[in-house]
Amino acid sequence: MVRAFRGATATEPSAVPTPDTGADATPAGASPAPDAAPGAGAGAGADAATGTAEQARATRPRLGRDLTLIAVVIAVLLAGLGVGGVFLYRTLYSPTAFVQHYLDLLSTGHAADALQVPGVAIDRSVMDAAGLPKNASEALLRKAAMATLTDVEVRSEHTDGGVTDVTVDYRAGGYAGTTTFQVESAGSIGVLPAWRFARSPLAVVDLTVHGSMTFQVNGFRLDKRQVALAGSEVDPADPVPMLMFTPGLYSVRVDTAISYSPGVAVLSDAPMKNVPVEVQTEPTEKFVSTVQSRVDDFLDQCATQRVLQPTGCPFGFVVQNRIDEPPQWSMITAPKITVVPHGEDWSIPAATGTAHIVVDIRSIYDGSVRHVDQDVPFTMAGTIDISPTGTASIQVTAVDGD
C-alpha cells in the first residue's frame, strides 16, 4: 500500500539514512542540536592550552638569558666606570698627580706658578725652626735661574697616616736625581680632593764666592750687594743664602774681567735642605796682564827718582860716604808678576827683579871717588784691593832681606 503524505511526493522518501561513519554529521549551515553533550569541542581547547604552556616554557629561558645579559652589561659598565674613576683619580686628583703638576711647572719654567702650588711658599719662621737662614734671598726662584728638568717618572707612592710620600726620578740639567716629596690633604674642592706639600720642596744654597762680588747661576748674573740682606754693606767674605727649587740643578760660576771660576754644580734633591757651597775664583789673564803693566809703570816711576832710596819703592842703594851727583836709576829686568787669591782680594807673591844704578861715591876719609855702575837685584811683593766699583788698588812693598 502506497501511503501518500501531504507536501511530499510518492517517490521522495521521508527519511534518508546517513552512512555510518562513526561520528555525528551535521548538515552544512545547520546549528548543533540544543541538547548536544557538554563535552563537545573539549579536544580543541586542550590542544590550545598545551601550545600556550609550551610557548611559556620556551619564553622563560629567553627571558633569563636576556636578564643575565643585561646584568653582565651593567656589571661591565660599572667596572669600566670604576676603572675610569681610578684612572682619573690617579691622573688628576691623587697625591702623585699633585706632585706631577708641580714638576710640570718646573719643567716648563713656570717658576711663579710653581710658587703658587699649595705648600711651596715657605714662612720665614718655619725656615728658622728648620735651621735654615730665614733671610734667604728669592733671587733664584725665577725662570732665568732654572736649569732643564726632564725624564720625570714617579717611582712610588706610599701613605703613612695623613702624609703620602711620592718618590720621583728625573734628570736635572743632565744629572740624574731622585726626590721624595711629602704630600698631605688640604680638604676638598666640591667632591674632589685637594692636596698640599706637607714639607715645602724649597731648599737653600749657602753660597760663598771668594774674589768676586758678582757671580752667575745657570747664566743668570747676580751681585752679592743685591741679594744679601746687608745690601751694599755686605762683607764680601760672608755667605749669601738663596732659596732654590727642588728638584733643580744650579751651576755657579764667575766670569768677570778680573776673575773666573769653573762651574760648581749644585743638585737640589732634598726639600728643606741647606747646601753650603764655596767657590774660589782665579785671576783672569787680562787681570794679571793689567797688574803687570801697572807694576812696570810703578817701577819705571821709581827709577826716575834720583835718590839712593826711591820713596815707596822696593829697591835702593846704601853707601857710607857721600855722593858727588844724584844717582841715575834704570830698570834692567822687571819682576814677573803673578796674582793669587787673598781672602776676598788678591795678592802678588814675592817676585824678583833687577834695577841698575850709576853713581859716584866720594870717600869721607880721603876724598877719593869711586864710580859705581852696577845692577841692584831686589825682591818685591804686593796686595791688590778691589773697590766696590771694580777699581784695583795695588800696593808694592820690598821683601826684607834683599
Angle at 85 (CA atoms; ends 81, 91), nearest 5 degrees? 145
Burial (0-12, 13-18, 19+ Cβ within 10 Å), 104 = middle
Coil/strand/helix, residue 55: helix
Residues 90 and 195: beta-carbon distance below 8 Å: no
Residues 202 and 244: beta-carbon distance below 8 Å: yes
N- to C-terminal Cα separation, the chain: 197
Q: Which of 67-76, 101-110, 289-298 has the lowest mean pLDDT?
A: 67-76
How far apart are alpha carbons 172 and 175 in whole angstroms?
5
Residues in the chain, overall count = 402
Q: Give the β-pairing of 202-210 and 274-280.
A: parallel
Q: Which of 18-22, 204-208, 210-214, 215-219 has the lowest mean pLDDT?
A: 18-22
C-alpha cell at 104: 710640570
Q: pLDDT digit string (tens) for 181-201?
A: 999 999 988 878 999 999 999
Name residue 223's beta-bridge partners: 214
Mean model confidence pLDDT for the chain: 84
Residue 291 main-chain phi, psi, to 5 deg: -65, -40
Other Cβ atoms less than 10 A from the Cβ of 402: the count is 13
How far apart are alpha carbons 108 and 85 in whole angstroms?
28
Would you say residue 15 has pLDDT above 50? no
Question: How far, in whole angstroms, is CA 14 from its chain's centroid?
Answer: 124
